[in-house]
Amino acid sequence: MTSTPPSPAQRPLSQRVRIVLPAILAGLSMLGPFSIDTAFPAFAAIQRDFGVGTDGTQQLVSAYLLSFAVMSLFHGPLSDALGRKPVMIGGLAAYGIGSIGCALSPNLLVLLGFRVLQGLAAGGGVIVSRTVIRDVYDGPEAQRLMSRVMMIFSIAPAIAPVIGGLLLQLGPWRVIFWFLTGVSILLIALVAFVLPETHPAELRVPFSPRPLLTGLRTISGSLTFHRVAWAGALAFGAQFLYIGSAAIFVVDLLHRGAQDFWMFFVPMISGVALGAWLSGRLAGRVSGRRLVLGGQLFGVAGAGVNLAIALSPVGATLPYAVIGPGLVAFGSAVAWPTMQLIVLDMFPATRGAAASALTFIPLVLNAVTAGALAPFVTRTVGTLAATCLAMTVGGLAMWMWHLAESRRVAMPEPVTIEGAEPLPD
């Protein structure tokens, strides 16, 4: 992992803030999976109320992700210009309004519209919270905090559908969106009154279109950035393929009910938590590049095991069907904290823009996966597993390309002295 000297923003934090900072940042990151996974148990009820099928409710995932992806390009640059807290608070407030609209929607079209508003707003907390980590910490300490936040964050996809199922016992599906409204209000309070501003005025870029877009253009034009970003996006996409199609995987392929999503999410998220824990433990002991390579290789091996199980007679039965996704998630979680820091350190003056660009690529990939790819590859557990393996192999190939290019660039050019005989190899 490339390390940069501490910036003026890296000021000492009080002991109280140090204790609660991982929980606050994880809470902000958890808003993303909560927005997706809490609603999964309600899909059947929404289909009955609005007279739509599985493809209709699946668009509730892709509409949220696509809008999140589009706006994700702007949350980071805005935080570079305005500061981290204003962007987070504004985004959370708009997210709360979107959640209220979802709860009051009279039909699927209106519900999709407010899901778009949720997606446009959620990145204010999700994306900018990652930048805060690099604002205040450096090197192995930043990696440990990123891993700790990911460990806490990993709980969200496991408990979100469980909470959604419990909320359905208390009332109609709309109560889930009232719950998300309450979550946004709680996060606004924590950011406003506990979280310090980590991007001081003297480090901010001018608030005008040209410098904001220049940062994004510089990042998007970097081939090094794309190699790392796509390596992470494909590895995480293999995991998200199962998350985004959980309603199909659990109900249609495994023949379970609305209260059974935990049987899938608990093993998978356990893999994420264990992988993030290992990443934090190895911070400063193993080089970032080797750590990422190990995680990517493990993910490919796990996807291979997953395909072998899927093609066996027990491929569509529990607990065998969820072993492979858990292994893939473990490998991704080992690599992802370090990959995020590698990208943030590529562009120290515009970390917010870097975080936005890094988020945009997997979001678009995940949105396409959930909305367009999932309906075709979820016909059997075998086709789902084969697609997962292809994505992990793609991620590993991108990382190997990055390593090869890094070694080539770092290798000094040979010095030729006129008239001298070449040295033997």
Mean pLDDT per block of 10 residues along the chain (425 residues) reads 44 68 82 83 89 83 82 81 87 95 94 93 80 77 76 73 88 94 94 84 73 74 89 89 82 79 82 86 82 93 94 87 91 87 80 79 79 80 92 94 82 42 40
Residue from 340, 71, 70 nearest 225 by CA: 340
Q: Give residue 307's pLDDT.
A: 95
Q: Give residue 211's pLDDT.
A: 66
Q: Give residue 419's pLDDT.
A: 40
Q: Give residue 301's pLDDT.
A: 96
Return all residues near 374 (Cβ < 8 A) that are at least 6 apart: 58, 241, 244, 245, 248
Q: Give residue 40's pLDDT.
A: 81
Q: Give residue 258's pLDDT.
A: 67
Q: Which domains does the chain have, with CATH numbers?
A: 18-409 (1.20.1250.20)
Within 13 Å, how many C-alpha atoms sit on residue 303's CB side? 33
Return all residues near 162 (Cβ < 8 A) that are at least 6 apart: 261, 262, 265
CA–CA dist 393, 328 (Å, integer)? 11
